[in-house]
Amino acid sequence: MIKYRSMVTTAEVNGPQWAKLDDARITRLGKILRSTRVDEIPQVLNILLFQINVIGPRAERPELAFNIVREIPNFHDRLIIKPGITGLAQIRSGYTNDLDGARIKLTQDLFYIKNQGIYIDVRILFGTIVTVLKKLGY
């Protein structure tokens, strides 16, 4: 996925890591980009290229996904459909930074996959707008 860099270039010198609340690796400009969700705008190009959907399970960075799958073997089941910029797990759980959060999001992603349709998509879009306007998450 195409994204703006919001962390210092040495952010993962010790290996891949989840972002944390008040993460010192996030630049000042990165904090603004993240809080306003402007860092997501380049992903519109991914949508126009039919690489991702607007709604679907949020793609995980390959470096982190490799580690998650070792602990949660069915984690890749959420990739039965194309990933999206936003999804049920994002509006219900926000940002998570551990395996317990990944398990919860997997459950929500699988629920979405089994129940996807216009009704749930509209609810997710509305929930995403509320999340952005209220600057929830980090």
The domain of 119 spans 55-133
Nearest CA among 36, 79, 80 for reference residue 59: 79
Please give the structure tokens belonging to residue 112: 């979405």
pLDDT in the model for residue 137 = 60
The overall average pLDDT reported for the chain is 90
What mean pLDDT do residues 51-74 have? Answer: 92
Q: What gap in Å lies between CA 11 and CA 25, rounded to an integer?
A: 6
Helix (H) or strand (E) holding 114: helix 99-115
pLDDT in the model for residue 95 = 78
pTM for the whole structure: 0.83
14 part of a folded domain = no
What mean pLDDT do residues 63-74 have? Answer: 91
pLDDT in the model for residue 45 = 93
Domain count, the chain: 1
2 part of a folded domain = no
Nearest CA among 83, 112, 81, 77 for reference residue 1: 83
What mean pLDDT do residues 105-121 have? Answer: 96
